[in-house]
């Protein structure tokens, strides 16, 4: 399992980074991104600490730990600047908290994120076809999550992205230990979303291609 969207207690997750990674190993994970929520108030505190613990764990455990950042509920004008700052502080992957219908995300976040040199647009909600084209053009990965609150928008994303060059990936958006899943459960989840074997394997391959760029 490759999971590129998880949270620790450095934002709103339940576990220390080391415990989250240890539990992921127990689930059979090959790679995990620690992508805590950041904005201008905490980016210089959170990201360097995730980078530090990732280096330490990668040196001793058989899993790829990726320091990341999820830019969350921030002004549109700050997305490009904070993307650059997150990379400066050590984030290897940049996610932006997309326009999920489960939260009052500022309208226009998806579009601005897609032109800001990010890696993953997380739970993008009712992504438009124009935004889909931007994601394809700018090589931004679009996230399907296993969270129940994203079910309808997952279905929408799959519907408009199927048959296009868009790069879909599956993440858990983990906040607590029970959110972590095995590869078998991931397969079952995507199957229940109506994706055939070839489509499922393409999604897993997209995650592999993304982390290959980091190694």
Tens-place pLDDT, residues 16-27: 999 999 999 999
Q: What pLDDT is attached to residue 112?
A: 98
Class of domain 2-212: alpha beta
Global pTM reads 0.98
Give the residue extent of every domain in the chain.
2-212
CA neighbours closer than 13 Å in the CB half-sphere of residue 20: 33
Q: What is the pLDDT of residues 122-137, one digit of tens each?
A: 999 999 999 999 999 9
- Sole residue written with tokens 């993440």: 171
CB-based contact 52:83 (threshold 8 Å): no
């Amino acid at each position: 399992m490759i999971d590129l969207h998880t949270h620790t207690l450095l934002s709103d997750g339940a576990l220390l980074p080391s415990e989250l990674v240890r539990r992921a190993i127990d689930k059979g994970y090959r790679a995990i991104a620690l992508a805590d929520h950041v904005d201008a108030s905490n980016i210089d505190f959170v990201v360097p600490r995730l980078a530090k613990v990732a280096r330490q764990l990668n040196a001793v455990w058989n899993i790829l730990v990726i320091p990341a950042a999820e830019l969350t509920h921030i002004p549109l004008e700050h997305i490009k600047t904070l993307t650059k700052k997150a990379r400066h502080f050590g984030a290897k992957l940049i996610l932006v908290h997309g326009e999920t219908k489960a939260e009052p995300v500022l309208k226009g976040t998806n579009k601005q994120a897609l032109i800001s040199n990010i890696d993953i647009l997380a739970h993008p909600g009712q992504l438009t076809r124009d935004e889909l084209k931007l994601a394809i053009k700018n090589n931004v990965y679009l996230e399907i999550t296993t969270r129940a609150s994203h079910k309808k928008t997952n279905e929408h994303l799959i519907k408009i992205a199927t048959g296009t060059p868009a790069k879909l990936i599956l993440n858990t958006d983990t906040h607590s230990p029970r959110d972590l899943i095995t590869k078998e459960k991931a397969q079952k989840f995507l199957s229940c979303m109506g994706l055939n074997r070839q489509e499922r394997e393409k999604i897993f391959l997209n995650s592999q291609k993304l982390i290959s760029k980091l190694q």
